[in-house]
Chain A
């Protein structure tokens, strides 16, 4: 048994244990694990830093956005990147959507981004990136539920 195969198998086991709505048929691992960025950065389209509004200033947070763990602050952070709230997570050609998750107290926990294939990509903590079918594949005790969907014109589309 190669080490890579063993690690891959263990990762799938851990992921499916933590997120019971993920099954072998609705997600795939798309990157090695990395401590260098988190889901909030990944949803914003970057993979070079960890985004979080922590009070000790150990993570990146956009200048001018309140450094507080509230949905309002996260919406404001993504607004800086051109996202606006929208009603549905359904795929729309020419738009890029993100989903922000919150726990039962309304505290943000996770963010996912829709790909141009209509699936969703998530970075799981300091573990791997995964691609999954729907935002609600990740609901549960770790990330709570989707609180808001936002969208912006897809950066890959030429302006009309």
Chain B
């Protein structure tokens, strides 16, 4: 009977045939089993670009992954994260709303939208979304990270606990690095430096980690340390244009009234 065709009885052969049937229905032109490989390859490329700080490229790769497989939640979440990281939070908010229409109640998407809304400035809604993300089944580093960001944006003290929870969930250096970026976004350079140092300790061969640490040190007016970080970044990636630019900035480091004012009004 047709209504029992899709029930799972543990018969892998039948399940595979059903899967291939649905995939071929979705995309007649592509071979059924080749499709996920290509999309996961795109996701892998996106991740590689993300680890290099090439967020535009990463966004393109996430979109490519979704072109091949629209149900990849990682692709949707990645797009939202990249939009947020390239300072396009209002667009991320719109896109997050759309993604949540397709995957209602998905914890990662809720967290991503919370981050976008938080960056736009609607802290109240961001709180609600972050709470909803935490209430959704499963625990991931990203949800803890977003919760920490929302608390940080609201100048609440508990953000460190959330970031350490995020590190417990996932020991990847990228978690520490993105935590550092969050701290930098909200002008907490001291805490950003600690998180960036954790990232460089975990992955001393990653130029982008050194670059972010350099940025944090620079914000703290630690010229010597920031210069060292940018130099290490350039050792690992000699064509890193941003690091070269920052290194020049550090070299030309002179007294400025803007920096003085920033130092006086620094939150912590």
Binding partners A and B: no
Give me the interface of A with B, judged by CB distance under 8 Å: none
